[in-house]
Amino acid sequence: MADFDNAYTGLTTDIHAVYRAQTPASAALHERASKALVGGVSGTVRYFRPYPLYMQSGNGSHTVDLDGNDYVDHFLCGACLLLGHRNPEIMQAIAKTPETGSLLLNDKLSVDLAELIQKMVPCAERVRLLNSGTEAVMSALRFARAYTGKSKVVKFYGTYHGQGDEMLFGLNDKPKRLGGGITEEAVSQTAMAHFGDFEALADILKQGEVAAVLVDPSMHHCGLWVGTNQTYAQIKQMAHDAGAVLIFDEVISGFRIAAGGAQSYFDITPDLAIFGKAFAAGEKIGAVVGREEIMAVADPARSRPGPFAYQSGTGNDVRNSVTAALAALKTYQRFDQNGGYQRVSDLADKLGSGLQKTFADHGIACHFNQLGPMVRLFITDGPHTYEHCTKLDPRIINLFHLALLTEGVLTIPGSNDFFLSFAHTNDDINLVIAAAGRVLDKFDFKTIT
């Protein structure tokens, strides 16, 4: 362990030195920003040591920092920019807003957007627009509880479902809360099971208190360890047998792995689904969609008897966001028709395969998972399994991502994500694979693997 720690410290020092030499403007702004913004950033994920990058512009699949360094962008602002930076359709849609104003009462475009979602998403019999994925999760759980009259929610270990206190729990393979300020009471109605452990799920459901089983069908946070059609079908059947509803959290998978989301990709129609991020390709919006009888609990007209679940929000239908979402969804439809989804999935597979080979060429074992335009790496010579890979020391892969920044590839140390957009090209993928080779040539990762 001492040998590893010494090698890791030395390698970190070497990488930090190169990073600092290339990004002095980011260093200076971070010092200034830390006196105004908490930690110098607007969110935990945006921070990494020795200091985060600060960007000045983006175009297509590339972004440029304050020092003028150009990067192939595989962070995409937390996976929002599925169409890349400054996509023409999105920019043209937003440009029309000054003609009308951005916040109108019951804007007709919200109806247009809801109708388009109904055409694209199998479960979307009714739609409620919201401000973010986090808000959508909170609202979907409220709707499920109102509809079923039950209080508990099942989530799976290793999944992330936004910023609500009751969801910041069990984000790895342990029942641990993510940081302070999250009370035991807040998570007391969240039951945990390991994904694929149907016996454990059955034990929870048979208690008769579960309103919903919440699933991220991409299993993104823990590394893209996805299930099959049969897996999700069994979860759905078990939930229904117990009087619970199945909720797909499609904030990550939605419009990313298929134009109709994971429910189209896996051919499973959940009772409710949640959307955000790629929904408006960078503008702030979210949605809960689902079966009419469940969504009816939020109907202020009270068109049918039953419980009422309050939900509202000043920014639910800001025109900037709605017009961007309309433009994005129409673009996704076009990509669905012309093979764009297969093309970007093929690029992601090329990226994962190329990185795995690059590590192997340097005598380092590496596995990858890939789902649609997403790739995760696991630097290990152990088995390619969830049980093994989730126990790996994250410091090694995080240091590799930091080193990639010094070679013009933007990922975020700490997240281990490679997100691709429809703007990424074959040349971009070749650049990233070559950059990884230069990193492994320059820095001796074998000493810590």
d(CA 382, CA 302): 57
What's the mean pLDDT when you consider all of the chain?
96
Instruction: Tell me what pLDDT residue 3 has.
Output: 87
Instruction: Tell me what pLDDT residue 82 has.
Output: 98
Burial of 323 (0-12, 13-18, 19+ CB in 10 A): buried
Query: Are residue 219 and residue 354 in the same domain, yes or no?
Result: no
Asked if 428 and 72 count as a contact pair (C-beta separation under 8 A), the reply is: yes
Domain boundary (283, 318, 338) is at 338
The model's pLDDT over 271-310, given as tens digits with 9 standing for 90+, comes to 999 999 999 999 999 999 999 999 999 999 987 788 999 9
Q: Considering its fold, how many domains does the chain have in total?
A: 2
Query: Are residue 155 and residue 273 in the same domain, yes or no?
Result: yes
Q: What is the CATH number of the domain that holds 327?
A: 3.40.640.10
The model's pLDDT over 325-384, given as tens digits with 9 standing for 90+, comes to 999 999 999 999 999 999 999 999 999 999 999 999 999 999 999 999 999 999 999 999
The model's pLDDT over 409-449, given as tens digits with 9 standing for 90+, comes to 999 998 899 999 999 999 999 999 999 999 999 999 999 99
Sign of CA dihedral 13, 14, 15, 20: positive
Mean predicted confidence (pLDDT) in 200-218: 97
Query: Are residue 425 and residue 322 in the same domain, yes or no?
Result: no
Query: Are residue 194 and residue 325 in the same domain, yes or no?
Result: yes
Query: Are residue 71 and residue 124 in the same domain, yes or no?
Result: no
Residue 99 pLDDT exceeds 90: no
Residue from 86, 107, 104 nearest 95 by CA: 86
Domain that holds residue 440: 2-86+339-448
Domain boundary (312, 338, 364) is at 338
Residue 104 pLDDT exceeds 90: no
Query: Are residue 185 and residue 102 in the same domain, yes or no?
Result: yes
Max CA pair span of the chain = 69
Asked if 239 and 250 count as a contact pair (C-beta separation under 8 A), the reply is: no
Residue from 409, 435, 404, 436 nearest 420 by CA: 409
Query: Are residue 358 and residue 425 in the same domain, yes or no?
Result: yes
Query: Are residue 288 and residue 365 in the same domain, yes or no?
Result: no
Q: Using N-to-C axis directions, what is the helix angle for 319-338 and 88-95, rounded to 10°?
A: 150
Query: Are residue 246 and residue 369 in the same domain, yes or no?
Result: no
Asked if 276 and 283 count as a contact pair (C-beta separation under 8 A), the reply is: no
d(CA 105, CA 323): 15
Domain boundary (338, 365, 393) is at 338
Query: Are residue 402 and residue 294 in the same domain, yes or no?
Result: no
Mean predicted confidence (pLDDT) in 49-53: 97
Residue from 140, 356, 350, 172 nearest 254 by CA: 140
* Three-class DSSP category at 72: strand
In terms of DSSP bridges, do strands 245-249 and 272-275 run parallel, antiparallel, or are they unpaired?
A: parallel
d(CA 17, CA 338): 46
Beta bridge partners of 378: 367
How does DSSP assign 169-227, residue by residue?
B-SSSS--BSSTT--HHHHTTEEEE-TT-HHHHHHHHTTS-EEEEEE-TT-TTTT----
Task: State the DSSP H helix or E strand holding residue 348, giving kind and residue range, or none if neither.
Answer: helix 340-361
Mean predicted confidence (pLDDT) in 57-78: 98
d(CA 385, CA 302): 49
- Terminal alpha carbon distance of the chain: 12
Q: What is the CATH number of the domain that holds 423?
A: 3.90.1150.10
Distances (CA, A) of 303 to 85, 169, 296, 297, 309: 43, 37, 8, 10, 13
What residues contact residue 232 under an 8 Å CB cut-off, 6+ apart? Answer: 215, 217, 266, 268
Query: Are residue 321 and residue 358 in the same domain, yes or no?
Result: no
Query: Are residue 324 and residue 222 in the same domain, yes or no?
Result: yes
